[in-house]
Structure 1
Amino acid sequence: MFERINYKNQAREQLKGKLKTPIIAFVVTMAITAMAAGLPQENLDGTTGLISFLLISFINSVSSFAFLRIFIQIYNTKTKAEFSDFINSFSHFVKAFLGFLWFYLWVGLWSLLFFFPGIVKAFSYSQMFFVLAENPKISVSKAMNISKVLTRNHKGDLFLMSLSFLGWEFLSMLTLFILQIWIKPYEAMSFTNAYYALKEEAFRTGSLTPADFES
């Protein structure tokens, strides 16, 4: 059973007294993303444009991966994460970037058929980032296959959970997005709880075993 409200309630409790590092990490991630997006784009030819796109994608994927690992750590240790944990996660830059490319390659290919299949596959592959964040030694293709098993019969649940944050996003607009520094950690922690619930269900039903999460 997918208990969306429970995952969100748990997230609020889990983040009490532990928000400092997630907030700083989010601000740093957004600053890095903004700087990457601000790189000169005009007058770029095909090759230079591709290099620029890959550079921006690399920066975004690595910083987002490091941000996600904070919540994996909070879930597993029940203690607050340090900013050094966020910085140390940048050492997994290769896996983070390859995961990003693999995800968007397949979502893009499915989107060529029609927009709806692309959305469905995006949710089907969505848990691969949690798998990689928890187990950086796992191959990207294996993480995607695990995600497809984890999200079986739950893609709609994950979609509805995403929609449940739209109200917070609207309120954030009214605060000139200042509220994002709380919303994004709350959202990331909630989806981390959902990931572990899906993982436990897969173990319980025999769809996956702990050995599947080994490199």
Structure 2
Amino acid sequence: MKTTAELKSEAKEILRGRWGKAVLLNLIPTLLTVGVLIFATLSGLAWYSIHGTDTYLLSSVVEYQQNSPEGGGVSLVSSIISALFTSGITWTYLDLLRKERSEIQPLKDVFRGFQGAYIGGVILLTLLSTMFTTLWMLLFMIPGIVKIYAYSQCYFIYYDQIQQTGEKPKVLDTITASRRLMKGHKKRLLWLDITFLGWYIMIGLTLGIAGLWVMPYVSATRAAFYEDLQKNAQQ
């Protein structure tokens, strides 16, 4: 298995000479994410002005987003839209890594997850994995986090199945395949995520602007991680 440093090196190689288009590829989902956060915050403030009884504004807004049907709906829709964009972006980096293409087409590739062959599966994968993870979270926090990592490769697997067979795999089978592929590797991906912690802090400090450069790096590294998993699983 490749080390974290080797995976990051592969990601940098993928992005070499392509940073400009990679930033453009990430621009639309970044702007939409910021827009959703602003909308959710404004909705929470509106709810607070009408129903808020807590002396702390922040806790009231959080309460709205956690307990209000409208707040929960915004969160779920945001997760689905994020998955659709993220899938298309990471698939693009996977293709570049495999040398199945040589260029990024930002305005086209960012919407790959929305295409007819993929959109239904990505939505169902998001709904089911979110539901399963939430149920585990209701028991204990740690099992829920474990399941997040167990299901983390399902979008890659779904894409590969369609590319290789031309047929849409069953969503539950895809989630099961991700769980099996990640057996013994969840800690590796957790550590990989931890190594990006400083970059995530930078995103927060720049109000999301740094994400235009950080997220291509993260997405390309995750594509390299998946490819490494698949190659080792086939040995």
The TM-score normalised by the length of structure 2 is 0.76
Shift of 1:54: 4.3
**Residue of structure 2 in register with 1:30 after alignment:** 30
* 1:79 partner SS: coil
Distance 2:189 2:137 in 1: 19
Unaligned runs of 5+ in 1: 205-215
Unaligned runs of 5+ in 2: 48-63, 163-167
Change (3 A) 1:94 1:15: same
**Over alpha carbons, which structure has the higher Rg?**
2
1:16 aligns with 2:16: yes
**Residue of structure 1 in register with 2:111 after alignment:** 87
Distance 1:158 1:55 in 2: 26
**Residue of structure 2 in register with 1:68 after alignment:** 90
How many residues were matched structurally?
204
Distance 2:15 2:205 in 1: 24
Q: Is the 8 A contact 2:158 2:174 kept in 1?
A: yes
Shift of 1:177: 4.1
Which piece of structure 1 moves more, 47-56 or 164-173? 47-56
Change (3 A) 1:134 1:31: farther
Shift of 1:127: 0.9
**Residue of structure 2 in register with 1:212 after alignment:** none
Q: Is the 8 A contact 1:72 1:134 kept in 2?
A: no
**Residue of structure 2 in register with 1:158 after alignment:** 189
Distance 1:25 1:55 in 2: 21
The TM-score normalised by the length of structure 1 is 0.82
The alignment yields a C-alpha RMSD, in angstroms, of: 2.5
Which piece of structure 1 moves more, 38-47 or 144-153? 38-47
**Residue of structure 1 in register with 2:131 after alignment:** 105
Q: Is the 8 A contact 2:34 2:208 kept in 1?
A: no
Distance 1:165 1:48 in 2: 32
1:69 partner amino acid:
W
Q: Is the 8 A contact 2:203 2:210 kept in 1?
A: yes
1:80 partner amino acid:
E
Distance 1:60 1:13 in 2: 25
